[in-house]
Structure formats: structure tokens, C-alpha cells
Amino acid sequence: MDRPDVINRADGSEGNSGNPIVDALVLDLLEWVAADRRSYAEVMEAWRTSCPRLPVWEDANERGLVARAQADGRAVVTVTPSGRALLARRRPQRPN
């Protein structure tokens, strides 16, 4: 059953952070990264936190929803195919 409070992991299993706020923020992170090319530094500045209750970047990374790569001589963050599939399921494109 497809539940909005559960985010699929990269390995196909289902799981969530136990915190619906973190799960919603992971989706926000994926939308933000997917919208434009983002440098790793930009993503870290906006999304990394030292708060153990809001591990958004860490959760997205652990679930295989984002990846780091090199482009034009700089580190960038991209949404993985698993992350794009999750976005398509949870937040389908809205008509303009």
C-alpha cells in the first residue's frame, strides 16, 4: 500500500525517519535540487544541520535519493533515479 508518510529507500524497501516533518523536508530538498543545478557547497549551506532531530541531508543521502558528482570542475548534488521516482509518486507535477 502506498502511504504518504513512508518514503521508499533506494533498495526498494520502505521506511521512514519516524518523523513526518523530516520526511516532508526530504521531499522539499529533492524538489529544490531537481529544479536547478546546485553546488555541493550551496546544498550544504541550505540543508545541512547539526540538529539531530532534522537530519534532512543525511536521510536523503542514506536513502540513496541524492548523489554527489563532479561537473565543470566543481562538486554538485543531483537527484538520483530513486529520488526522481519518489518525487513523481509523492509530488506529481502540478499544471501551470
Write down the domain spans for the chain: 15-88
Q: What is the predicted pLDDT for the residue at 26?
A: 92
Q: Average the pLDDT over 63-70 and give the result.
A: 94
Residue 16: per-residue pLDDT: 58
- Rounded (10°) angle between helices 81-90 and 20-35: 110
Task: Return the CATH number of 15-88, one of 1.10.10.10, 2.40.170.20, 3.40.50.300, 3.40.50.1820.
Answer: 1.10.10.10
Provide the whole-model pTM.
Answer: 0.76
66: enclosing H helix or E strand: strand 66-71
More confident residue, 73 or 19: 73
Decide: 24 and 58 in contact? Cβ < 8 Å: no
Per residue in 5-49, pLDDT (tens digit) is 444 444 444 455 667 888 899 999 999 999 998 999 999 988 887
